[in-house]
Amino acid sequence: MLYLVRMDVNLPVDLPPSQADAIKSREKAYAQDLQRDGRWRHLWRVVGEYANYSVFDVASNDELHTLLSQLPLFPYMKISVTPLAQHPSAIA
């Protein structure tokens, strides 16, 4: 199943830079592992915002929830999920 996911990150202003850097480093490694195994199909930055749009390809709502909730930045995110279906006019 394909899902379009928007993630908006809001780190606390008083979070020590070293702690923020450590969280971001773990986030990057986790995201890249999911991209390599094919479950995180696309990752696009939103220009001018600390946000992204991503496409996930997972078996279920529960699997997506588990993946998202394990993101190191999850406690600092607002996440919106849109399930996707094939469009009848799509050529790919």
> Tens of pLDDT along 65-89?
999 999 999 999 999 999 999 999 9
β-pairing, 51-57 vs 2-9, is antiparallel
Domain contains 69:
yes
Helix (H, G, I), strand (E, B) or coil at 69: helix
Query: pTM for the full model?
Result: 0.93
Domain contains 17:
no
Domain contains 74:
yes
Q: How many domains does the chain have?
A: 1
Residue 87 structure tokens: 């469009």
Residue 15 has what pLDDT? 97
Cβ–Cβ < 8 Å for 4, 84: yes
Domain contains 29:
no
- Domain of residue 47 covers 1-12+38-81
Domain contains 86:
no
Domain contains 88:
no
Cβ–Cβ < 8 Å for 50, 8: yes
77-84 β-sheet, strand order? 40-45, 51-57, 2-9, 77-84
Residue 92 has what pLDDT? 80
CATH assignment of the domain containing 56: 3.30.70.1060
Q: What is the mean pLDDT of residues 30-49?
A: 98
